[in-house]
């Protein structure tokens, strides 16, 4: 299915793997102002041979699509985040059934706002993801009870001079995942909030080494 479709409550793209049987699926989650098309080339570069599932965020902030609302820069609407995370989890399960990919081999790849909702999904419904690549995420919330993330690999790409995500926030998120039992790789680069080729290459290597699960 090459064109954008609206079904299961999300406008999305699904690009099947050349050899779909047993292939992993990358759940591509764009940043603020992005679309379902933004991360397709990134997904193809990160893990050639994977299915690509890319939904379009349904929340608008000054006309820019996002996956959940925020009250201010770095201040998330927790009620909406909880609802949108559940909505995304349901979408992934329904998409697996519709397109015939393994629901147990889904790896989230998120940037900024997309990375934040992927982190929320890991903390709230970890059974939906086998692992994750999170580019410039923040701590979405701190759960009262940590989930069991043993057996899951998480790659975090972050900027030492990111004006949006403080270094301490990134380190807190990595620590949170580690406390939950995940195997976390934290890759720092000297830049800001923009995605760099260096961290993309680091994520490629991480995925090829099978660190996702």
Full strand arrangement of the beta sheet holding 10-15: 5-7, 10-15, 51-55, 25-29, 106-111, 131-135, 153-159, 183-189
CA–CA separation, 125 vs 40, rounded Å? 24
Domains recognised in the chain with CATH numbers? 5-208 (3.40.50.1820)
pLDDT digits (tens, 9 = 90+) for 113-165: 999 999 999 999 999 999 999 999 999 999 999 999 999 999 999 999 999 99
Q: How much is the pTM? A: 0.94
Active site amino acids:
112, 162, 193
3-state class (DSSP) for residue 108: strand
Torsional sign, CA 29, 202, 187, 148:
positive
CA–CA separation, 85 vs 67, rounded Å? 9
pLDDT digits (tens, 9 = 90+) for 55-100: 999 999 999 999 999 998 889 999 999 999 999 999 999 999 999 9
């Amino acid at each position: 299915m090459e064109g954008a479709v609206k079904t299961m409550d999300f406008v999305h793209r699904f690009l099947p793997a050349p050899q779909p049987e047993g292939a992993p699926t990358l759940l591509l989650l764009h940043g603020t102002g992005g679309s379902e098309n933004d991360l397709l080339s990134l997904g193809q570069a990160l893990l050639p041979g994977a299915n690509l599932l890319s939904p379009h965020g349904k929340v608008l902030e000054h006309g820019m699509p996002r996956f959940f609302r925020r009250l201010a820069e770095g201040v998330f609407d927790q009620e909406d985040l909880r609802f949108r995370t559940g909505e995304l989890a349901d979408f992934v399960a329904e998409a697996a059934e519709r397109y015939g990919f393994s629901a147990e081999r889904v790896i989230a790849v998120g940037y900024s706002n997309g990375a934040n909702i992927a982190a929320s999904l890991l903390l709230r419904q970890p059974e939906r993801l086998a692992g994750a690549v999170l580019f410039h995420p923040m701590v979405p919330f701190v759960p009262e009870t940590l989930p069991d993330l043993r057996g899951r690999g998480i790659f975090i790409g972050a900027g030492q001079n990111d004006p949006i995500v403080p270094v301490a926030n990134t380190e807190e998120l990595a620590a949170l995942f580690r406390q939950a039992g995940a195997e976390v790789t934290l890759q720092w680069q000297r830049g800001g909030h923009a995605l760099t080729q260096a961290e993309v290459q680091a994520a490629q290597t991480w995925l090829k080494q099978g660190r996702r699960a």
